[in-house]
């Protein structure tokens, strides 16, 4: 365990930095698009249009993180659900998976706190309320099912694309799904797929209501996806969303 920490601590910090960057971006664009005093919010009254813009911004943020120098090194999981799915597939060792998850939670909290310092009371205003993810009007059952479903679909897409001749497009596929989910699925569950992302927002807002949904449904969905992929495909693979030959990989020992 300590050997992994000594050898790979830089990668763990990159995972934390990746999710922190994602959360800062989410908070910034939420204030721009949803705060009542925002000029963009006043000009763009259509809720779906604002969600579509938010989705595009966050999808592009995810893509930028995945294909960044840090993302190429750590694998850019930035999500405990993704790390647990790769652990289920045997593509990441348990000590690395443990420290990845801890780093992701730390990064999620740090990102929201940094954004709070930068954006001040505007981030705490309702909305955007620290970009908290919460069940929609259809209730917790629908939210749970929706989170599990979108998480499973994203993980299956990443696994199948990354094991094909289009492997370099796996990150683009993930970013596109994030954009689509925020635009269309967010009204049902808030669109998290990420326990660490939800925890960071909930902690800052002081509202842990429904947190269990986002701690259980996304990992469950991705673990089921990993199991389904394993039953349908004999292809191995890497735990990186974007594996490049000229970057050292702790998963493939290259």
Number of domains in the chain: 1
pLDDT tens-digit readout, 66-102: 999 999 999 999 999 999 999 999 999 999 999 999 9
- Residue 145's pLDDT band, with cuts at 50, 70 and 90, is very high
- Residue 1's pLDDT band, with cuts at 50, 70 and 90, is confident
What pLDDT was estimated at residue 236? 79
Mean pLDDT, rounded, for 174-187? 98
Average pLDDT, the chain: 96
- pLDDT surpasses 80 at 51: yes
- pTM given for the model: 0.96
Vertex 8, ends 84 and 3: CA angle to 5°? Answer: 95
In a domain, 239, yes or no: no
List all residues 6 or more positions away from 250 whose beta carbon is below 8 Å from its beta carbon.
7, 8, 11, 96
Q: What is the DSSP string of 50-84?
A: HHHHHHHHHHHHHHHHHTSHHHHHH----SHHHHH
CATH number of the domain residue 72 falls in: 1.20.1080.10
In a domain, 244, yes or no: no
In a domain, 103, yes or no: yes
Range of the domain at 175: 2-232
pLDDT tens-digit readout, 13-49: 999 999 999 999 999 999 999 999 999 999 999 999 9
What pLDDT was estimated at residue 31? 98
Q: Assess contact for 217 and 151: CB atoms under 8 A.
A: yes
Mean pLDDT, rounded, for 238-243? 93
List all residues 6 or more positions away from 231 whose beta carbon is below 8 Å from its beta carbon.
none
What pLDDT was estimated at residue 235? 80
Mean pLDDT, rounded, for 51-63? 98
In a domain, 81, yes or no: yes
Interior/surface letters 103-123, b for 16+ CB within 10 angstroms, e for the rest: bbbbbbbbbbbebbeebeebb
In a domain, 146, yes or no: yes
Query: What percent of the chain lies above the pLDDT cut of 90?
Result: 92
What pLDDT was estimated at residue 233? 81
Mean pLDDT, rounded, for 54-68? 98
pLDDT tens-digit readout, 188-197: 999 999 999 9
Distance CA 117, CA 27 (A): 11
In a domain, 238, yes or no: no
In a domain, 240, yes or no: no
What pLDDT was estimated at residue 254? 59
In a domain, 242, yes or no: no
Region of 18 (left: φ > 0; alpha: ψ -120 to 50; beta: rest) is alpha
């Amino acid at each position: 365990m300590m050997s992994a920490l000594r050898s790979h601590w830089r990668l763990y910090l990159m995972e934390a930095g990746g999710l922190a960057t994602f959360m800062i971006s989410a908070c910034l664009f939420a204030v721009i698009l949803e705060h009542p005093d925002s000029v963009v919010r006043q000009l763009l009254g259509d809720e779906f249009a604002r969600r579509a813009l938010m989705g595009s911004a966050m999808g592009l943020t995810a893509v930028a993180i995945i294909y960044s120098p840090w993302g190429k090194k750590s694998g850019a999981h930035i999500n405990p659900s993704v790390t647990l799915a790769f652990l289920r597939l045997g593509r990441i060792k348990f000590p690395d998976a443990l420290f990845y998850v801890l780093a992701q939670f730390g990064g999620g909290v740090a990102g929201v706190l940094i954004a709070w310092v930068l954006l001040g009371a505007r981030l705490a205003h309702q909305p955007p309320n620290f970009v908290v993810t919460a069940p929609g009007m259809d209730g917790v059952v629908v939210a749970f099912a929706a989170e599990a479903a979108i998480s499973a679909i994203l993980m299956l897409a990443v696994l199948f694309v990354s094991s094909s001749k289009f492997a370099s497009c796996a990150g683009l596929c993930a970013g596109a799904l994030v954009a689509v989910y925020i635009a269309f699925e967010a009204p049902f569950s808030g669109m998290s797929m990420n326990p660490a992302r939800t925890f960071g927002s909930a902690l800052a807002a002081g509202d842990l209501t429904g947190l269990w949904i986002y701690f259980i449904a996304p990992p469950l969905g991705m673990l089921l996806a990993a199991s389904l992929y394993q039953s349908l495909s004999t292809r191995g693979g890497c735990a990186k969303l974007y594996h490049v030959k000229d970057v050292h990989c702790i998963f493939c020992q290259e």
